[in-house]
A and B are shown apart, each in its own frame.
Chain A
């Protein structure tokens, strides 16, 4: 296992630049990340609690939460399976085109979301390559809930692959050799021997994919159809309220989204911290 740097608190002030790097970091984080959030609270302060509740519990808004959370959950589960498969194939097997496949995994992060959005919408519309195949079979993707989940899944593909891959690479060969020599079948060995090592990373990656999907906008709006109550995501809800100059309404809904995503981020960070400590803890 790779050795982590041994890091001795107290002996490290030999190096210069503490004041400068602290100054730049704190200034930047305060101005760029934290100060703008005060604008949101300023706007919310103008609302009474009853008004706030009325906005965030309005029927159309609640419907948008349902659509967003439901589609993001489906996308995250699909990505968990797909990501696990890709990570396994990329780490364990050698085959022609493997390097290309590995590079292709990062495409959804490199490709601008608006480009992904219009491309998926065009592909899966009735006249598109995929839509033309699927719609005669009675399966409509574009302008439905399935399209939203598809777009979310596409933009978050790299999360699971890239969190599971390094863990799988670090797994020593003896682990599965032992299982196999004791006569376990592939399925049993994978479940009982490999999965216990993988699942913390799998949960982290799936969680990140879910959070990303909750906030995704550019890739979804083109394929979603954006029908109120049916295929409208919460991010679009905020955008629509802004275009109607309903700043208070937009802020109220945004505060819900912000709260949920920051809470999930914090949980994932705590989870990841615990899991990294468990992996490397006893060894240092």
Chain B
């Protein structure tokens, strides 16, 4: 039986439109990043990447991502367990609250942290008298990065855990397994791929966050410059090739994330087929 849009000319038209538009708006920018980065040869690219300030920015960016992931992981799993395994008043409110970081502009996210923990804020001024500086230093970068990335793991886990239901865990507990044993042996194997996908998303965002970080970092070269801030500085200094060298590194991480996502989805669809 023929379905809507199955006529050959409609089909051809829609597929070509989709391919053309995607090539123009998605593929072309991707190609441009690498074309610009290597526009003066591999040697120039390499010297831009292995430059002291770039290496420092890479190190800081990776450190922030590595510290962010476990925090988001613990929070995401706890929240998903809470809202999918128990019924209590305020459950929906919690689920709405975790979406806040998606709606808040990154600049506003940076600003609210700066106001609270900066020298003029009520926590910041107390910290200042104890010689603790969070803003314009790496702890501030870490704090805003956690703010912008914290929904990802929870958002991946909640629909899955809701769909799976709690029958398996209830069986395990009824048969005498302890809470942790149940979690490690029953829950975790069921959610590991969604968990991994949540980590990939968290990492991609943590590595690339710009707006929030640029408000709280101070962007001191060799100290508080993450890779996205570093490429902005190079770009503003008219060092386009240098900027795109850093951009290419970030784009590579993005491509690896996409590949990992496609791999996980392929795995999931194969498992569903059985």
Residue from A190, A212, A217, A264 having most chain B Cβ neighbours under 10 A: A217
With A176-B3, A217-B210: A109-B204 Cβ-Cβ less than 8 Å: yes
Measured CB to CB, the nearest residue on chain B to A245 is B120
Contact B114 A242 (CB under 8 A): yes
Question: Do B78 and A16 touch across chains, with their CB atoms under 8 A apart?
Answer: no
Docked-complex contact A177 and B103, CB < 8 angstroms:
no
CA distance A12 to B21 in the complex (A): 49
Residues B4 and A179 in contact, CB atoms below 8 Å apart: yes
Q: How far is the CB of A208 from chain B (nearest CB, A)?
A: 8
* B contact residues around A34 at 8 Å (CB): 97
When C-beta atoms are compared, the residue in chain B nearest to A265 turns out to be B103
**Interfacial chain A residues near B19, Cβ < 8 Å:** 97, 101
In the assembled complex, how far is the CB of residue B247 from the closest CB belonging to chain A, in whole angstroms? 4
Tell me the dominant secondary structure on chain A's binding face.
helix
B63 partner residues in chain A, CB cutoff 8 A: none
Contact A39 B82 (CB under 8 A): no
Task: State which size class the interface on B falls in.
Answer: 35 or more
Q: A153 vs B24: C-alpha distance in the bound complex, in angstroms?
A: 13
Interface of B is mostly: helix
User: Once the chains bind, are B111 and A242 in contact (CB under 8 Å)?
Assistant: yes
Report the minimum CB–CB distance from A84 to chain B (whole Å): 11
- Of A88, A102, A266, which is within 8 A of B5 by CB? A88
Tell me the complex Cα distance, A187–B115, Å.
Answer: 54
Give the residues in chain B near A32, CB-CB below 8 Å.
143, 146-147, 150
Are A194 and B4 in contact, CB atoms less than 8 angstroms apart? yes
Q: Are A25 and B82 in contact (CB under 8 A)?
A: yes
Bound-complex Cα distance A17 to B10 (A) = 55
| Contact A239–B258 (Cβ < 8 Å) | no
Flag whether A103 is at the interface (Cβ < 8 A).
Answer: yes
Q: Is A238 an interface residue, CB under 8 A from the partner?
A: yes
Residues of B within 8 A of A35 (CB): 116
Which of A22, A36, A269 contacts B147 (CB under 8 A)? A36
Interface presence of B243 (CB below 8 A) = yes
- Assess whether B29 is interfacial by the CB under 8 Å rule: yes
Which of these, A9, A110, A242, contacts B254 with CB under 8 Å?
Answer: A110
Sorted from nearest, which 7 A-B pairs have the closest CB atoms?
Answer: A112-B208, A215-B105, A39-B116, A16-B179, A218-B210, A5-B165, A39-B115
A sample of 29 inter-chain contacts (CB < 8 A) reads: A2-B163, A15-B173, A18-B82, A20-B78, A21-B78, A21-B85, A24-B75, A32-B146, A32-B147, A36-B115, A38-B116, A95-B15, A111-B250, A119-B33, A119-B247, A122-B36, A129-B28, A154-B25, A180-B3, A186-B10, A190-B4, A214-B105, A217-B107, A235-B106, A239-B215, A242-B114, A254-B111, A258-B105, A258-B108
**Interface set of B (CB-CB < 8 Å, partner A):** 1-5, 7, 10-11, 14-15, 17-19, 21-22, 25-30, 32-33, 36, 74-75, 78-79, 81-82, 85-88, 92, 94, 96-108, 111-117, 120-123, 143, 146-147, 150, 162-166, 169-170, 173-174, 178-179, 182-183, 201, 204, 207-211, 214-215, 228-229, 231-232, 235, 240, 243-244, 247, 250-251, 254-255, 257-259, 261-262
